[in-house]
Each structure stands twice: as structure tokens, then as C-alpha cells.
């Protein structure tokens, strides 16, 4: 059994591959016995950094059909498709978003279809497929209404996964991930990136900008929960998904007030003082178009889980990133 | 002012172009004064048959970007995008459907965007974007849930029109047309084609096959209403559409019982006797996945209209196609 992780060198991809290795493999189709893949191909624009004899780090272009055809072989049982141009970048560079998020996804689906082994494919979608006039709580019946190019492109990817699954070309599923906080490392092009920045940077003794009002609420997930839910989405049998191949993942609603309180609770008042409030209307418009509260009954019934609290998310970040936390309560 | 009609040599395209000429042009943006285009480009796989100094018949491939770039010039104010691989064919030939319905639509949108004149573009979408478990009456709030590749491809086209409009690349709108009956001429690859066949063929003295149960109901529109509603969709100002660029068009619910009764009322019992009932599960599955009853409040408020009755549709067919009606009450 081989698995392929696109966008594998990114933060979530590296965590996901490390988690597969740490868990002793993947549990598939209701089995609680993990099975270690023979090969985990980590594909991205740049090479992944995990060194393990089972991990093959490959750098290349997701929008090149020939590259994808080489990445998927007859033993490829699972594809986790994380590669994407994120929200802020997709809005700023329309062509790049279309190329990676639509063309790349389609070429990947075609590479799977060409193998005729019906690989299992998980698309990482996003809460950004929702927007505009929404009910206060978005439940499983609410129709996607994306207000940005990223959300439109993710939704189109979902419908392709849906139809390729219905046609029997793949065993596909799409999960809509909440905004992942706290992301370690450098800020990326996501409009939601500030939600990580305002925790990570002050905890490292650096300033960070909050570009939205403190009353703004977001629907978030820790990296640990996101990875755990992605692996759960891979593990579930085909039949559990039925017709509807798209799923809103559980998360947590947090206001920027609460985020700053959690920062202070973990990092002290000097950490909180490093957050500068500088409104950015473009970011605020995009982020506020996304829903901030969901009712994820279907996902909970399928065994997906959410974080306990935002403070727990911040504490987990500190545990997992001790080297990046310089000034804790100093 | 130039206009482009893709799929213009097809039945609806020819009717639409003829209607523009007969009406003395297009009424745009609330004006009741029609304005005759300088040029109406009729683009299709084969050349259109209308001979008028203002009509330019061009044959070519909708999935060729260079061709589309040549078709849209700085004077192209309106694009009516009717070209499509229809439902039965898109299900049988997946690649052809993707190529024409997705690639072709995308290349057309790109050709419009490249002109930077923000042309008005109307996408003919379909009730086939709905399917599966639906309420008895589909109203404007029901989320699209396509169950076939044609519906998925049309829905993806709608979302592209939506995002290209939001970005200011085009002034786009998509209308979901009911099943058009009675289509004259030869049967096409639409799974719904029998609904026309069982009227047209018996009225010409030929046998026709009804592949679904008589209790099956369909949501239909006459060609006259469909063309009239398409032209109305083109005429409406940008601001009327607002955020939501997709619209369910008004139609009529008709059971196959009622269709056969209307056939007998217009063509006599011998016409009805020419309809052979031969169930085809593949056609029945696709057709029965589509909704058969809508509440189209938004469209009615925007000035779109439906037919009066199915018998009126059959009578209009007889009026418009006297040469194809051989055996009327003979």
C-alpha cells in the first residue's frame, strides 16, 4: 500500500505524515489495527523535511498532468489532497488559484481515474465555501454560497470529487476544515493567517497585527484536531459517506476577545500587549464573509471531534513548539 | 453592438437568433426600445442556417481557446452560451462532457475577461443541477445537489459565472431551463428527449417510445417560453441580479398521463396509439432524479413567465411546425 500526500511539505502535510508514522500506519475501513504504508509520497512545490525510509519527498508542479501520473501507481491506495493556493492569495492572484485549485485537483482526479484501482481520495476543503447571508448557525443542510475565489474553487473541487466518486473512478470524500490555529512557522497567504499570528508571534516575543475587530468570531480547529480529523476521514469506509461526499468538520467558535484572553492566560499580559490592532478592510471583508458557528451533527455522528477550548489550543501549541516560545510568562 | 450565441445552430439557438431579428433587436437594461445588433455571431460545431446580413455563421470547436478569442471582440456586448453536451451524452461520455461543459465554458469566460469590456454573459443551465432527496416543491432556497455529470458540470459553470461576475470580469447570469418540449427535428442525446419524441413523432405519423412510467412528472417549458425567458434574462440590468447570479426559470409540471392526453386532444386517438411504452431504467433513473415541481417566486418577480398549459404547448408546436405535422386528426 502506497499513499500520496499533496501539499505534503506544508505545515498540515508534515504533521499528517508524521502522525501516520507515529501511529504505526493508517487504520482503514473500521479496522483498529494500523497498517504501515510501504511508501508515503510527500509531494509539494518544495521537498518535505521528514527523513524516514518510507517517506519519499518529491518536489514538482501540481498542475502538471504528467507529474501526477507518475506519482500515482497501481499500489496507491490513499491520496490526501492538501495542496492549494490559500484564500488571500487566490483572491489576489485569480489565475494562480484557478490553476492550482481547479486544474491541479482535476489532473489529480484524472491520474487516479487512469489507474482504474479506485483509490481513496480526500480533498481538504474549507469553511470558505460558505458566505454571504447565512443563518446564525450553519448546519449540515445549509447550501454552500462562497463569496471569494478560494471558496468557489474549493466548492468546484468538492463537486468533482462527488462526481468522480459517483462514477466509480475514485472513492472520494471532502472535508471542510475550520481555520487552523495556531499555525507555527512563517505566516502564509491565508486571509485568516492573523488568527495564528496573534498567538504565535507574541509568544515568541514579537509583535503581531490584528486586522479585524475584537468582536469578530472565527470557526477554528487546532492542528492536532485537524490532522486527527483528516486521518479519520481517510479511515472511514466508503459506505459511511453515502451520496453526500462533503462534510463540515467540528470546530470551535472563538472571538478575538477570547483569543486575546487565552493569549494572556498562557503568555501573560506582556504577550497580549504585543498585539497591534490595525484594521484591514480587505481581510475583514473576506474573513467576516465566513460563518463563525456550525452545528456539525453529521460529523460528530461519524466520529469526528473538536477541541475542548481555545486556551487548550494555545497550550497545545506551546507544548508542540517549545523552541518557538521564547518569552512565556517571563 | 455585437452579440455571440454559442450552440447557435442548435434548435434553441436558431429560435433565439430568429427571435432577436423578429423583435428588431435586443431590449437592454430596462429599455423597451429594441436595439438591433450590428453583428450576431452564430457559433456551433456546424454552421447555422439563418441567412441574414447581420448573422455570421461560424463553425468551430467550443473547447479551443484561440477560436473563442477570435469570436469575442471589443464590440461584443452580449454572449448567450447555449453550447453544451446534453444530459444523456454527458453521462455516457464523461470526457466529452467535461471538455465541452467545463473547459468550453471556462475558455469562453476567459475570452470575455481578456477583452476587459465586461461583456454580459448568459449561461443556459438546467434543472438537472437538482437531484436526490428533494422537497416536493423546489423553491429558490433549495441547494443544488446534482446526481449526474451533466448537472455537476452545469453547476460548476454557474459557480464560475458567479465568481467571474463578482470579480468584475463579466456581467454574468445563469438560468436553469426546464426540459424544453416540444423540440422539433431529430432526437438529441438528452435523457429527457422522449418528452418531445412522444408528441412530435406521433403527430408526424411515426411511432415513439415512452421509456418511463406514465406517472412520471416533468418540469417543462415550451421553446417559445424558453427563448422569451432567455432574452428576458439578457435584458435585465446587472443590479437586478445582485449577489445571486443563478435562477430557476418558471415552467409547468406535466405527468406523462397528461402529456398523452394532450397529444390525443390535439392529434386524436390514433396519434396516441403510436406511443410505445418501453421502460428504460437508465433514462428513468436520470429523469426521475430531477425535480418535477418548482416554486419560482424570484423569477416571477423578475418578470419571467411560464406556459399556460401543456395542451397549449402542443398547440403552439403544431402552429410553429405545420410541415412536420402530417396526420392531424386525419
Q: What is the pLDDT along chain A (330 residues), one digit of tens a residue?
A: 999 999 999 999 999 999 999 999 999 987 889 999 999 999 999 999 999 999 999 999 999 999 999 999 999 999 999 999 988 899 999 999 999 999 999 999 999 999 989 999 999 999 999 998 899 999 998 999 998 999 999 999 999 999 999 999 999 999 999 999 999 987 777 888 999 999 999 999 999 999 999 999 999 999 999 999 999 999 999 999 988 999 999 999 999 999 999 999 999 999 999 999 999 998 898 888 889 999 999 999 999 999 999 999 999 999 999 888 875 554
* CA-wise closest residue to A217 among A273, A296, A289: A289
pLDDT at B287: 86
pLDDT digits (tens, 9 = 90+) for B195-246: 999 999 999 999 999 999 999 999 999 999 999 999 999 999 999 998 899 9
Structure confidence at residue A240 (pLDDT)? 93
Is the pLDDT at B263 greater than 70? The verdict is yes
Dihedral, CA of residue A88, residue A94, residue A96 and residue A100, to nearest 10: 80
At A276 the three-state DSSP class reads strand
| Residue numbers in B near A163 (CB within 8 A) | 146, 149, 152
Q: Is the peptide bond before B116 cis (omega within 30 degrees of 0)?
A: no
pLDDT for B328 equals: 59
A252-255 vs A217-221, strand pairing mode? antiparallel
Residues of B designated catalytic: 150
Please give the Cα distance from B127 to A248 (Å, whole number): 26
Any B CB within 8 A of A180 CB: no
User: Which B residues in the span 211-250 are in contact with A, Cβ-Cβ below 8 Å?
Assistant: 243
Domains delineated in chain B = 2-178+221-248 (3.40.50.720), 191-218+252-292+308-324 (3.90.25.10)
Q: Using an 8 Å Cβ cutoff, are A174 and A122 in contact?
A: yes
In this prediction, residue A330 carries a pLDDT of: 46
Mutation for B interface: A163, A168, A174, A245, most B CBs within 10 A: A163
Does the reported pTM lie above 0.90?
Answer: yes
On whether any CB of chain A is under 8 Å from the CB of B116, the answer is no
CA dist., res. B300 & res. B210, Å (int): 32
Proportion of chain B in helix, strand, coil states, percent, rounded to 5: 45, 20, 40
What pLDDT score does A328 carry? 59
Q: How many angstroms separate the CA of residue B91 from the nearest CA in chain A?
A: 9
Give the pLDDT confidence of B16-28 residue by residue, as tens digits: 999 999 999 999 9
| pLDDT, tens digit (0-9, with 9 covering 90-100), for B49-95 | 999 999 999 999 999 999 999 999 999 999 999 999 988 899 999 99
By the CB < 8 Å criterion, does A167 face chain B?
A: yes
Residues of A in contact with B243 (CB under 8 A): 132
Q: What is the distance between the alpha carbons of residues A50 and A39, in angstroms, rounded to a whole number? A: 13
- Please state, in angstroms and rounded to a whole number, the distance separating the CA atoms of residues B138 and B124: 19
The verdict on A35 touching B (C-beta cutoff 8 Å) is: no
Interface test with A, best of B87, B150, B156 (most A CBs within 10 A): B156
**A156 — contact with chain B (CB < 8 Å)?**
yes
**Beta carbons of A146 and B160 less than 8 Å apart:** no
ipTM: 0.93
pLDDT in tens, B151-178: 999 999 999 999 999 999 999 999 999 9
Cβ contacts below 8 Å, chain A against chain B, sum to 36
3-state helix, strand, coil in chain A (%, to 5): 45, 20, 40
Catalytic residue among A150, A164, A257, A317: A150
**Average model confidence (pLDDT) across chain B:** 94
pLDDT at position B132 is: 86
pLDDT band at B295 (very low <50, low <70, confident <90, very high): very high
Q: Does A160 reach chain B within 8 Å, measured CB to CB?
A: yes
Predicted local distance difference test score (pLDDT) of residue B330: 46
Amino acid at each position: 500500500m502506497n499513499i500520496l500526500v499533496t501539499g505534503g511539505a506544508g505545515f498540515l502535510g508534515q504533521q499528517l505524515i508524521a502522525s501516520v508514522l507515529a501511529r504505526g500506519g493508517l487504520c482503514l475501513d473500521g479496522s483498529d489495527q494500523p497498517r504501515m504504508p510501504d511508501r508515503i509520497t510527500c509531494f509539494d512545490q518544495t521537498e518535505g523535511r521528514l527523513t524516514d525510509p518510507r517517506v519519499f519527498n518529491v518536489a514538482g508542479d501540481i498542475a502538471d498532468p504528467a507529474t501526477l501520473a507518475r506519482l500515482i501507481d497501481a499500489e496507491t491506495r490513499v491520496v490526501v489532497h492538501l495542496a492549494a493556493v490559500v484564500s488571500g492569495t487566490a483572491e489576489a492572484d485569480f489565475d494562480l488559484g484557478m490553476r492550482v485549485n481547479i486544474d491541479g485537483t482535476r489532473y489529480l482526479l484524472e491520474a487516479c481515474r487512469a489507474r482504474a484501482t479506485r483509490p481513496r481520495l480526500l480533498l481538504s476543503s474549507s469553511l470558505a465555501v460558505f458566505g454571504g447571508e447565512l443563518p446564525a448557525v450553519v448546519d449540515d443542510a445549509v447550501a454552500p454560497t462562497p463569496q471569494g475565489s478560494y471558496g468557489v474553487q474549493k466548492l468546484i473541487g468538492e463537486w468533482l470529487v462527488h462526481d468522480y466518486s459517483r462514477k466509480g473512478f475514485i472513492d472520494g470524500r471532502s472535508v471542510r476544515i475550520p481555520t487552523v490555529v495556531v499555525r507555527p512557522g512563517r505566516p502564509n497567504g491565508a486571509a485568516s493567517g492573523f488568527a495564528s499570528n496573534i498567538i504565535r508571534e507574541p509568544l515568541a516575543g514579537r509583535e503581531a497585527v490584528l486586522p479585524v475587530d475584537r468582536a469578530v468570531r472565527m470557526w477554528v480547529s487546532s492542528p492536532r484536531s485537524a490532522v486527527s480529523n483528516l486521518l479519520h476521514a481517510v479511515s472511514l469506509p466508503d459506505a459511511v459517506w453515502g451520496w453526500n461526499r462533503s462534510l463540515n468538520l467540528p470546530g470551535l467558535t472563538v472571538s478575538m476577545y477570547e483569543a486575546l484572553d487565552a493569549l494572556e492566560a498562557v503568555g501573560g499580559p506582556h504577550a497580549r500587549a504585543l498585539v497591534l490592532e490595525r484594521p484591514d478592510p480587505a481581510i475583514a471583508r473576506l474573513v467576516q464573509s465566513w460563518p463563525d458557528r456550525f452545528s456539525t451533527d453529521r460529523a460528530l455522528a461519524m466520529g469526528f471531534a473538536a477541541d475542548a477550548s481555545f486556551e487548550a489550543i494555545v497550550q497545545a501549541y506551546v507544548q508542540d513548539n517549545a523552541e518557538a516560545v521564547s518569552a512565556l510568562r517571563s
